[in-house]
C-alpha cells in the first residue's frame, strides 16, 4: 500500500483528539492509585495469629508492617520482620513500584508537549512515545501485584492456621496499573494513522472535496411548456372578448349611475333639511 503524505489529510476539528484526552486523564489517576498502593502498608492482612489476641491483626506492606485492633483505631507501625522483608518478591515489588511511579511521571512529561494545547496540530510522535512510557509503567505495576497475589499465602506466614486476606493495596494496584496500560495504549495508537484516520480525527482531503461538490443539490430541470395561441382584440388585449360583449352579458346587477347634480340657483322648490 503506498504511503500517503500528511498533506492529504485534514483534521475535522481543532479540538484536542479524544485519544489524547483519554490517556492524559487515565494516566494521572493510575499514578495516584499506584502511589497509594506503594506507600500504604496493606498488601495483605493476617488474622487469627497465635500468641496474639483475637481482636488484633497485622497489616503487611512492601515497606513496613503495622498492628491494629478491631476494638480501637490505634495502629502501631514500624514492626520488624526480617523473614518477611528478606523474601525476594518484596525486593522486586519495591523496585518495580518505585520505577513505575518514576516512569509514569516521565511519560506525562513527554506526552504533554505533544498534546495540542497551544498549537493547531498535535505532535503525534511525541505524544505516542509518552503513551508508550505510560503503558510500560502500568506493566511494571501489574507484575509485582500479580506475583504477590499468586504467592499470597506462602510469603513468610507464621503458622498454617493464620488467616490471610488480600489488602486494599492489591486492589488499588490492579486498578492503577490497568488505568495506565489502557491510557498509554490509547495514546500510543495515535502514532500511526489507522481506521481511516478516525483515531486522529482526520479525513482525506479528496473525501472532503468530493462530498462538497458531489453532493451539491442539482438545480431543477426546466420543462418547456408549449404556448397556446389565443385570438386577440385589435387593442392587443390578452382577453379573448371585447368590451362591448362585457356590457351586454353580465350575470350580476350593475351599480346605479350617480344622479346629475342640479344647480341650486335654478331650483325654486322648497328646500329640505338634507339640502341645508
Q: What is the pLDDT of residues 189-235, one digit of tens each?
A: 877 766 555 556 566 655 555 555 455 555 566 666 666 555 555 44
Give the tens place of pLDDT for each residue, 235-262: 455 555 555 555 555 555 555 666 555 5
How far is residue 105's CA from residue 46's CA, in Å, rounded to a whole number? 34
| Res 234: pLDDT | 47
Per-domain residue ranges of the chain = 8-212
> Are 145 and 180 spatial neighbours (Cβ–Cβ below 8 Å)?
no
Q: Collapsing DSSP states into helix, strand and coil, what is residue 139?
A: helix
Beta strands in the chain (DSSP E): 9-11, 44-47, 56-60, 65-69, 75-76, 163-166, 202-204
**pLDDT 10s digits, 161-195:** 788 889 999 999 999 999 999 999 988 887 776 65
pLDDT cut 90: percent of the chain above it:
30
Q: What is the CA radius of gyration of the chain?
A: 46
Report the pLDDT value the prediction gives residue 70, as an integer from 0 to 100: 83
User: Which carries the bigger pLDDT value, residue 14 or residue 232?
Assistant: 14
Q: How far is CA 137 from the centre of its chain?
A: 24
What's residue 199's pLDDT?
58
Q: Is the dihedral of CA 239, 241, 247, 253 positive or negative?
A: negative
C-alpha–C-alpha distance, residues 271 and 213, integer Å: 86
CA 103 vs. chain centroid, Å, equals 26
Q: CA-based diameter of the chain, in Å?
A: 149
Angle at 58 between CA 54 and CA 59, to 5 degrees: 145
pLDDT for position 47: 86
Cβ atoms within 10 Å of 241's Cβ, excluding its own: 11
**28: nearest Cα among 136, 171, 184, 206:** 184
Residue 252 CA to chain centroid, in angstroms?
76
- Quote the mean pLDDT of the chain: 76
Task: pLDDT band for 104, please (50, 70, 90 cuts).
Answer: very high
pLDDT of residue 35: 95
Count the Cβ atoms, other than its own, within 10 Å of residue 115. Answer: 21
Distance CA 133, CA 70 (A): 42
Contact 125, 20 (CB under 8 A): no
CATH class of the 8-212 domain in this structure: mainly alpha
Amino acid at each position: 500500500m503506498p504511503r500517503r503524505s500528511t498533506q492529504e489529510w485534514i483534521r475535522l476539528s481543532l479540538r484536542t483528539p479524544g485519544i489524547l484526552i483519554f490517556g492524559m486523564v487515565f494516566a494521572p489517576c493510575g499514578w495516584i492509585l499506584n502511589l497509594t498502593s506503594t506507600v500504604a502498608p496493606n498488601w495483605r492482612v493476617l488474622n487469627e495469629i497465635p500468641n496474639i489476641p483475637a481482636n488484633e491483626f497485622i497489616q503487611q506492606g512492601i515497606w513496613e508492617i503495622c498492628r491494629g485492633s478491631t476494638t480501637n483505631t490505634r495502629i502501631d507501625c514500624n514492626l520488624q520482620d526480617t523473614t518477611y522483608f528478606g523474601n525476594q518478591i518484596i525486593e522486586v515489588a519495591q523496585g518495580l513500584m518505585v520505577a513505575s511511579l518514576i516512569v509514569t511521571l516521565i511519560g506525562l512529561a513527554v506526552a504533554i508537549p505533544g498534546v495540542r494545547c497551544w498549537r493547531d496540530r498535535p505532535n503525534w510522535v511525541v505524544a505516542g512515545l509518552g503513551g508508550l512510557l505510560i503503558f510500560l509503567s502500568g506493566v511494571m505495576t501489574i507484575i509485582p501485584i500479580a506475583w504477590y497475589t499468586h504467592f499470597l499465602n506462602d510469603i513468610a506466614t507464621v503458622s498454617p492456621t493464620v488467616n490471610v486476606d488480600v489488602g486494599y493495596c492489591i486492589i488499588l494496584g490492579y486498578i492503577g496499573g490497568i488505568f495506565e496500560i489502557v491510557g498509554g495504549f490509547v495514546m500510543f495508537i495515535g502514532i500511526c494513522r489507522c481506521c481511516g484516520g478516525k483515531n486522529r480525527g482526520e479525513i482525506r482531503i479528496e473525501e472532503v472535496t468530493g462530498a462538497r461538490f458531489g453532493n451539491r443539490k442539482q438545480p431543477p430541470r426546466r420543462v418547456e411548456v408549449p404556448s397556446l395561441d389565443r385570438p386577440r382584440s385589435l387593442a392587443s388585449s390578452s382577453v379573448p372578448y371585447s368590451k362591448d360583449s362585457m356590457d351586454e352579458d353580465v350575470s350580476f346587477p350593475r351599480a346605479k349611475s350617480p344622479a346629475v347634480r342640479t344647480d341650486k340657483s335654478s331650483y325654486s322648490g322648497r328646500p329640505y333639511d338634507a339640502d341645508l
